[in-house]
Copies of this chain bind each other. A is one copy, B any other.
Amino acid sequence: MSQFWSELVHNLDPYVPGEQPKVNNLIKLNTNENPYPPADSVLEAIRNATDDKLKLYPDPNADLLKQRIADYFSVQRNQVFVGNGSDEVLAHAFQALLKKDKPLLFPDITYSFYPVYCGLYGIDFQTIPLDEDFAINVNDYGDQGGAIIFPNPNAPTGRLLTLKEIEKLLINNQDKVVVVDEAYIDFGGQSAISLVNQYHNLLVIQTLSKSRSLAGLRVGYAIGHADLIDGLERVKNSFNSYPMDRLAIYGAVASFDNEEAFQQSCRAIINTRETLTDKLQSLGFKVIPSTANFVFASHPDFSAEQIAQKLREKAIIVRYFNKPRINEFLRITIGNNDENAALCTALSEIITS
Protein backbone atom coordinates (compact mmCIF):
# COMPACT_ATOMS: atom_id res chain seq x y z
CA MET A 1 0.00 0.00 0.00
CA SER A 2 1.46 3.35 -0.97
CA GLN A 3 0.29 6.93 -1.50
CA PHE A 4 2.14 6.75 -4.81
CA TRP A 5 0.03 3.98 -6.33
CA SER A 6 -2.61 4.72 -8.93
CA GLU A 7 -6.11 4.16 -7.61
CA LEU A 8 -6.40 1.02 -9.75
CA VAL A 9 -3.51 -0.72 -7.97
CA HIS A 10 -5.22 -0.66 -4.59
CA ASN A 11 -8.14 -2.65 -6.00
CA LEU A 12 -6.23 -5.30 -7.94
CA ASP A 13 -6.43 -8.94 -6.96
CA PRO A 14 -3.44 -10.37 -8.87
CA TYR A 15 -3.27 -13.87 -10.35
CA VAL A 16 -1.36 -16.47 -8.35
CA PRO A 17 0.44 -18.88 -10.67
CA GLY A 18 1.12 -22.48 -9.70
CA GLU A 19 4.17 -22.90 -7.54
CA GLN A 20 7.57 -23.10 -9.27
CA PRO A 21 9.57 -24.74 -6.48
CA LYS A 22 13.30 -24.16 -6.41
CA VAL A 23 14.17 -27.57 -5.00
CA ASN A 24 15.11 -30.50 -7.22
CA ASN A 25 13.87 -34.08 -7.26
CA LEU A 26 10.23 -33.13 -6.94
CA ILE A 27 7.68 -34.74 -9.21
CA LYS A 28 6.04 -31.60 -10.45
CA LEU A 29 2.47 -32.20 -11.62
CA ASN A 30 1.04 -28.80 -10.67
CA THR A 31 1.41 -26.41 -13.64
CA ASN A 32 0.53 -28.51 -16.70
CA GLU A 33 3.98 -28.44 -18.19
CA ASN A 34 4.93 -31.04 -20.75
CA PRO A 35 6.98 -33.91 -19.26
CA TYR A 36 8.93 -34.30 -22.51
CA PRO A 37 11.70 -31.85 -23.43
CA PRO A 38 11.59 -29.65 -26.53
CA ALA A 39 12.96 -31.31 -29.68
CA ASP A 40 16.72 -31.13 -30.23
CA SER A 41 16.04 -29.19 -33.42
CA VAL A 42 14.35 -26.47 -31.37
CA LEU A 43 17.24 -26.20 -28.90
CA GLU A 44 19.67 -26.15 -31.82
CA ALA A 45 17.77 -23.34 -33.56
CA ILE A 46 17.84 -21.25 -30.37
CA ARG A 47 21.56 -21.85 -29.87
CA ASN A 48 22.19 -20.89 -33.51
CA ALA A 49 20.25 -17.65 -33.04
CA THR A 50 22.34 -16.84 -29.95
CA ASP A 51 24.79 -14.66 -31.83
CA ASP A 52 26.02 -11.10 -32.30
CA LYS A 53 22.65 -10.07 -33.70
CA LEU A 54 21.30 -10.02 -30.15
CA LYS A 55 22.68 -6.46 -30.08
CA LEU A 56 19.91 -5.49 -32.53
CA TYR A 57 16.22 -5.09 -31.79
CA PRO A 58 14.16 -8.02 -33.02
CA ASP A 59 11.63 -7.48 -35.78
CA PRO A 60 8.83 -5.66 -33.91
CA ASN A 61 6.28 -7.55 -36.00
CA ALA A 62 7.97 -10.97 -35.70
CA ASP A 63 6.94 -11.56 -39.32
CA LEU A 64 9.07 -14.68 -39.65
CA LEU A 65 7.13 -16.39 -36.85
CA LYS A 66 3.75 -15.04 -37.94
CA GLN A 67 4.33 -16.36 -41.45
CA ARG A 68 5.38 -19.78 -40.12
CA ILE A 69 2.25 -20.01 -37.99
CA ALA A 70 0.08 -18.76 -40.87
CA ASP A 71 1.51 -21.44 -43.16
CA TYR A 72 1.02 -24.12 -40.51
CA PHE A 73 -2.65 -23.32 -40.06
CA SER A 74 -3.36 -22.26 -43.68
CA VAL A 75 -4.34 -18.69 -42.85
CA GLN A 76 -2.91 -15.33 -43.90
CA ARG A 77 -0.11 -13.64 -41.98
CA ASN A 78 -2.37 -10.71 -41.05
CA GLN A 79 -4.63 -13.21 -39.30
CA VAL A 80 -1.89 -14.07 -36.79
CA PHE A 81 -0.93 -12.19 -33.62
CA VAL A 82 2.01 -13.29 -31.45
CA GLY A 83 2.89 -12.45 -27.87
CA ASN A 84 5.04 -13.12 -24.83
CA GLY A 85 3.12 -16.24 -23.79
CA SER A 86 -0.60 -16.72 -24.30
CA ASP A 87 -1.17 -14.84 -21.03
CA GLU A 88 0.06 -11.66 -22.72
CA VAL A 89 -2.06 -12.42 -25.80
CA LEU A 90 -5.07 -12.90 -23.51
CA ALA A 91 -4.33 -9.64 -21.69
CA HIS A 92 -4.32 -7.70 -24.96
CA ALA A 93 -7.49 -9.49 -26.09
CA PHE A 94 -9.29 -8.46 -22.90
CA GLN A 95 -8.32 -4.84 -23.40
CA ALA A 96 -8.78 -4.68 -27.19
CA LEU A 97 -11.80 -6.90 -27.78
CA LEU A 98 -13.59 -7.96 -24.59
CA LYS A 99 -14.35 -4.63 -22.93
CA LYS A 100 -17.87 -3.77 -24.14
CA ASP A 101 -20.94 -2.04 -22.74
CA LYS A 102 -22.50 -5.37 -21.78
CA PRO A 103 -20.60 -7.74 -19.45
CA LEU A 104 -18.10 -10.32 -20.60
CA LEU A 105 -19.36 -13.88 -20.16
CA PHE A 106 -17.25 -16.83 -19.03
CA PRO A 107 -17.81 -20.05 -17.06
CA ASP A 108 -17.95 -19.95 -13.25
CA ILE A 109 -15.22 -22.60 -13.14
CA THR A 110 -12.46 -21.69 -15.56
CA TYR A 111 -8.99 -20.20 -15.93
CA SER A 112 -8.67 -18.02 -12.86
CA PHE A 113 -6.76 -15.31 -14.72
CA TYR A 114 -9.94 -14.15 -16.54
CA PRO A 115 -11.43 -12.20 -13.60
CA VAL A 116 -7.96 -10.76 -12.89
CA TYR A 117 -7.76 -9.29 -16.41
CA CYS A 118 -11.25 -7.87 -15.88
CA GLY A 119 -9.98 -6.15 -12.72
CA LEU A 120 -6.97 -4.74 -14.55
CA TYR A 121 -9.01 -3.25 -17.39
CA GLY A 122 -12.23 -2.41 -15.55
CA ILE A 123 -14.28 -4.95 -17.51
CA ASP A 124 -17.69 -5.89 -16.15
CA PHE A 125 -18.18 -9.67 -16.25
CA GLN A 126 -20.81 -12.30 -15.54
CA THR A 127 -20.00 -15.94 -14.87
CA ILE A 128 -22.17 -18.70 -16.34
CA PRO A 129 -22.37 -21.86 -14.20
CA LEU A 130 -21.08 -25.10 -15.68
CA ASP A 131 -23.64 -27.87 -15.45
CA GLU A 132 -23.42 -30.42 -12.65
CA ASP A 133 -21.01 -32.53 -14.72
CA PHE A 134 -18.79 -29.49 -15.20
CA ALA A 135 -19.76 -29.14 -18.87
CA ILE A 136 -20.26 -25.81 -20.70
CA ASN A 137 -23.74 -25.53 -22.23
CA VAL A 138 -23.45 -23.17 -25.19
CA ASN A 139 -27.15 -22.30 -24.97
CA ASP A 140 -26.46 -20.55 -21.67
CA TYR A 141 -24.41 -17.86 -23.47
CA GLY A 142 -26.73 -15.31 -24.97
CA ASP A 143 -27.98 -11.78 -25.18
CA GLN A 144 -27.01 -10.78 -21.68
CA GLY A 145 -23.33 -10.46 -22.67
CA GLY A 146 -21.12 -8.21 -24.77
CA ALA A 147 -18.45 -10.84 -25.49
CA ILE A 148 -17.60 -14.44 -24.55
CA ILE A 149 -14.41 -16.26 -23.54
CA PHE A 150 -13.74 -19.82 -22.42
CA PRO A 151 -10.91 -22.33 -22.65
CA ASN A 152 -11.46 -25.40 -24.80
CA PRO A 153 -10.90 -27.87 -23.28
CA ASN A 154 -11.87 -25.95 -20.16
CA ALA A 155 -9.45 -25.54 -17.26
CA PRO A 156 -9.17 -26.90 -14.66
CA THR A 157 -11.85 -29.44 -15.63
CA GLY A 158 -10.32 -30.72 -18.89
CA ARG A 159 -13.76 -31.04 -20.52
CA LEU A 160 -14.03 -30.44 -24.26
CA LEU A 161 -16.65 -28.73 -26.39
CA THR A 162 -17.04 -30.19 -29.88
CA LEU A 163 -16.49 -28.03 -32.93
CA LYS A 164 -20.19 -28.35 -33.67
CA GLU A 165 -21.12 -26.85 -30.29
CA ILE A 166 -18.64 -24.00 -30.79
CA GLU A 167 -20.10 -23.32 -34.24
CA LYS A 168 -23.57 -23.17 -32.71
CA LEU A 169 -22.30 -20.63 -30.17
CA LEU A 170 -20.73 -18.56 -32.96
CA ILE A 171 -23.93 -18.58 -35.03
CA ASN A 172 -26.02 -17.55 -32.02
CA ASN A 173 -23.63 -14.71 -31.12
CA GLN A 174 -22.50 -13.17 -34.39
CA ASP A 175 -22.57 -9.69 -32.91
CA LYS A 176 -20.09 -10.58 -30.15
CA VAL A 177 -16.44 -11.52 -30.07
CA VAL A 178 -15.99 -15.14 -28.98
CA VAL A 179 -12.48 -16.00 -27.75
CA VAL A 180 -11.64 -19.70 -27.58
CA ASP A 181 -8.57 -20.22 -25.44
CA GLU A 182 -7.05 -23.44 -26.78
CA ALA A 183 -4.05 -23.89 -24.48
CA TYR A 184 -4.83 -27.62 -24.22
CA ILE A 185 -6.45 -28.36 -27.60
CA ASP A 186 -3.62 -30.53 -28.95
CA PHE A 187 -4.24 -33.31 -26.45
CA GLY A 188 -7.30 -34.67 -28.22
CA GLY A 189 -9.55 -31.75 -29.16
CA GLN A 190 -10.33 -30.24 -32.54
CA SER A 191 -9.19 -26.65 -33.00
CA ALA A 192 -11.65 -23.90 -33.91
CA ILE A 193 -8.99 -22.32 -36.14
CA SER A 194 -10.76 -24.07 -39.03
CA LEU A 195 -13.72 -21.72 -38.39
CA VAL A 196 -11.97 -18.32 -38.37
CA ASN A 197 -12.51 -17.55 -42.04
CA GLN A 198 -16.21 -18.29 -41.72
CA TYR A 199 -16.88 -16.50 -38.41
CA HIS A 200 -15.32 -13.06 -38.20
CA ASN A 201 -16.19 -12.77 -34.52
CA LEU A 202 -13.98 -15.74 -33.56
CA LEU A 203 -10.51 -15.39 -32.03
CA VAL A 204 -8.58 -18.56 -31.20
CA ILE A 205 -5.62 -18.37 -28.80
CA GLN A 206 -2.95 -21.06 -28.49
CA THR A 207 0.38 -21.42 -26.69
CA LEU A 208 3.71 -23.18 -27.13
CA SER A 209 3.88 -23.78 -23.37
CA LYS A 210 1.99 -27.07 -23.18
CA SER A 211 1.92 -29.29 -26.29
CA ARG A 212 5.18 -27.81 -27.63
CA SER A 213 7.20 -28.14 -24.39
CA LEU A 214 8.28 -24.50 -24.41
CA ALA A 215 6.79 -22.94 -21.27
CA GLY A 216 10.22 -21.46 -20.55
CA LEU A 217 10.37 -19.61 -23.87
CA ARG A 218 7.09 -17.63 -23.50
CA VAL A 219 5.32 -17.74 -26.84
CA GLY A 220 1.61 -17.58 -27.52
CA TYR A 221 -0.48 -16.56 -30.52
CA ALA A 222 -3.96 -15.68 -31.66
CA ILE A 223 -5.64 -16.44 -34.97
CA GLY A 224 -8.74 -14.73 -36.30
CA HIS A 225 -10.10 -12.27 -38.84
CA ALA A 226 -7.57 -9.59 -39.83
CA ASP A 227 -9.72 -6.89 -38.19
CA LEU A 228 -9.57 -8.63 -34.79
CA ILE A 229 -5.81 -9.08 -35.18
CA ASP A 230 -5.47 -5.41 -36.10
CA GLY A 231 -7.21 -4.47 -32.84
CA LEU A 232 -4.69 -6.57 -30.90
CA GLU A 233 -1.78 -5.02 -32.81
CA ARG A 234 -2.97 -1.52 -31.97
CA VAL A 235 -2.97 -2.31 -28.27
CA LYS A 236 0.35 -4.18 -28.46
CA ASN A 237 1.98 -1.26 -30.30
CA SER A 238 0.76 1.07 -27.57
CA PHE A 239 2.26 -1.18 -24.88
CA ASN A 240 5.56 -2.71 -26.05
CA SER A 241 6.93 -2.63 -29.59
CA TYR A 242 9.12 -5.70 -29.26
CA PRO A 243 7.51 -8.33 -27.01
CA MET A 244 9.07 -11.28 -28.90
CA ASP A 245 12.79 -11.63 -28.37
CA ARG A 246 15.09 -12.98 -31.07
CA LEU A 247 15.46 -16.39 -29.39
CA ALA A 248 11.72 -16.87 -28.87
CA ILE A 249 11.09 -16.11 -32.55
CA TYR A 250 13.63 -18.63 -33.82
CA GLY A 251 12.78 -21.31 -31.25
CA ALA A 252 9.08 -21.08 -32.00
CA VAL A 253 9.62 -21.30 -35.75
CA ALA A 254 11.72 -24.43 -35.23
CA SER A 255 8.93 -25.98 -33.17
CA PHE A 256 6.45 -25.62 -36.03
CA ASP A 257 9.09 -27.11 -38.34
CA ASN A 258 9.22 -30.34 -36.34
CA GLU A 259 5.79 -31.92 -36.63
CA GLU A 260 6.99 -35.40 -35.72
CA ALA A 261 8.34 -34.49 -32.27
CA PHE A 262 5.19 -32.51 -31.55
CA GLN A 263 2.85 -35.33 -32.51
CA GLN A 264 4.90 -37.89 -30.64
CA SER A 265 4.81 -36.07 -27.31
CA CYS A 266 1.07 -35.36 -27.67
CA ARG A 267 0.40 -39.05 -28.31
CA ALA A 268 2.53 -40.12 -25.34
CA ILE A 269 0.67 -37.74 -23.04
CA ILE A 270 -2.73 -38.92 -24.27
CA ASN A 271 -1.72 -42.53 -23.66
CA THR A 272 -0.47 -41.80 -20.15
CA ARG A 273 -3.66 -39.86 -19.44
CA GLU A 274 -5.77 -42.88 -20.28
CA THR A 275 -3.58 -45.14 -18.09
CA LEU A 276 -3.79 -42.68 -15.20
CA THR A 277 -7.55 -42.27 -15.58
CA ASP A 278 -8.07 -46.03 -15.38
CA LYS A 279 -5.85 -46.27 -12.32
CA LEU A 280 -7.57 -43.35 -10.57
CA GLN A 281 -10.97 -44.89 -11.21
CA SER A 282 -9.77 -48.23 -9.86
CA LEU A 283 -8.74 -46.37 -6.68
CA GLY A 284 -12.26 -44.98 -6.37
CA PHE A 285 -11.65 -41.50 -7.80
CA LYS A 286 -14.25 -39.74 -9.89
CA VAL A 287 -12.40 -38.40 -12.95
CA ILE A 288 -13.89 -35.74 -15.23
CA PRO A 289 -13.37 -36.89 -18.85
CA SER A 290 -10.27 -34.96 -19.92
CA THR A 291 -9.00 -33.85 -23.32
CA ALA A 292 -6.13 -31.91 -21.74
CA ASN A 293 -2.68 -32.77 -20.37
CA PHE A 294 -4.16 -33.00 -16.90
CA VAL A 295 -7.03 -34.74 -15.17
CA PHE A 296 -9.44 -33.28 -12.64
CA ALA A 297 -10.37 -35.83 -10.02
CA SER A 298 -12.07 -36.19 -6.64
CA HIS A 299 -12.43 -39.04 -4.19
CA PRO A 300 -15.65 -39.67 -2.26
CA ASP A 301 -13.82 -40.76 0.91
CA PHE A 302 -10.77 -38.52 1.06
CA SER A 303 -10.38 -34.75 1.17
CA ALA A 304 -8.61 -33.38 -1.91
CA GLU A 305 -6.66 -30.95 0.21
CA GLN A 306 -5.39 -33.78 2.41
CA ILE A 307 -4.43 -35.94 -0.55
CA ALA A 308 -2.49 -32.99 -2.00
CA GLN A 309 -0.74 -32.55 1.33
CA LYS A 310 0.14 -36.23 1.60
CA LEU A 311 1.43 -36.28 -1.98
CA ARG A 312 3.64 -33.31 -1.15
CA GLU A 313 5.11 -35.27 1.76
CA LYS A 314 6.05 -37.86 -0.86
CA ALA A 315 7.66 -35.12 -3.02
CA ILE A 316 4.84 -35.03 -5.56
CA ILE A 317 3.04 -31.73 -6.12
CA VAL A 318 -0.38 -31.35 -7.74
CA ARG A 319 -2.71 -28.34 -7.89
CA TYR A 320 -5.48 -27.81 -5.37
CA PHE A 321 -7.93 -24.88 -5.68
CA ASN A 322 -9.69 -23.85 -2.49
CA LYS A 323 -12.71 -22.51 -4.36
CA PRO A 324 -16.45 -23.21 -4.32
CA ARG A 325 -17.62 -26.27 -6.32
CA ILE A 326 -14.07 -27.53 -6.95
CA ASN A 327 -12.55 -27.69 -3.46
CA GLU A 328 -12.92 -31.48 -3.48
CA PHE A 329 -10.91 -31.88 -6.70
CA LEU A 330 -7.25 -32.18 -7.59
CA ARG A 331 -5.83 -31.07 -10.91
CA ILE A 332 -3.07 -33.49 -11.79
CA THR A 333 -0.75 -32.82 -14.71
CA ILE A 334 0.08 -35.81 -16.92
CA GLY A 335 3.74 -36.64 -16.35
CA ASN A 336 5.94 -39.13 -18.15
CA ASN A 337 5.51 -42.85 -17.51
CA ASP A 338 7.88 -42.94 -14.55
CA GLU A 339 6.29 -39.92 -12.90
CA ASN A 340 2.88 -41.40 -13.53
CA ALA A 341 3.86 -44.73 -11.96
CA ALA A 342 5.27 -42.94 -8.91
CA LEU A 343 2.06 -40.91 -8.61
CA CYS A 344 -0.12 -44.03 -8.83
CA THR A 345 1.95 -45.81 -6.20
CA ALA A 346 1.76 -42.82 -3.88
CA LEU A 347 -1.99 -42.47 -4.36
CA SER A 348 -2.49 -46.19 -3.70
CA GLU A 349 -0.56 -45.84 -0.47
CA ILE A 350 -2.57 -42.80 0.59
CA ILE A 351 -5.94 -44.34 -0.23
CA THR A 352 -5.24 -47.72 1.33
CA SER A 353 -3.32 -46.55 4.42
Contact = CB atoms under 8 A, between A and B. Distances in A.
Contact of A54 (B43, B56, B87, B119): B43
Contacts of A6: 95-100, 231
A216 B52 CA distance: 10
B54 A97 contact: no
Nearest to A40: B52
B4 A234 contact: no
A23 interface: no
Interface string A221-255: 00000011011011101111111111110010000
A238 B119 contact: yes
Nearest to A21: B59
Interface stretch (A28-36, A270-278, A294-302, A345-353): A28-36
A70 interface: no
Interface residues of A, number: 88
A116 interface: yes
A243 B88 contact: yes
Contact of A84 (B47, B84, B238): B84
A20 interface: yes
A53 interface: yes
Query: How many copies of this kind of chain does the complex include?
Result: 2
Interface stretch (A8-16, A127-135, A321-329): A8-16
A51 interface: yes
Interface string A36-75: 1110001100110011111111111000000000000000
Interface string A93-136: 00111111000000000000000110110000000000000000
Given A36-B55, A55-B38, A85 B242 contact: yes
Nearest to A245: B218
B4 A53 contact: no
Nearest to A36: B55
**A contact face: mostly helix, strand, loop, or mixed:** loop
Nearest to A7: B99
Contact of A88 (B17, B216, B239): B239
Given A241-B17, A243-B88, A54 B231 contact: no
Most buried by B among A52, A233, A245: A245
Contacts of A196: none
Given A15-B238, A87-B242, 14 more contacts: A6-B95, A6-B97, A14-B233, A18-B57, A22-B59, A31-B57, A43-B50, A43-B51, A50-B247, A54-B215, A57-B209, A57-B215, A84-B243, A85-B240
Interface of A: 1-9, 12-18, 20, 22, 28, 31, 33-38, 42-43, 46-47, 50-60, 84-85, 87-88, 91, 95-100, 116-117, 119-120, 175-177, 200-201, 209, 213-218, 227-228, 230-231, 233-235, 237-248, 251
12 contacts: A5-B227, A14-B233, A14-B237, A15-B241, A28-B56, A33-B56, A36-B55, A43-B50, A46-B50, A50-B247, A53-B216, A88-B239
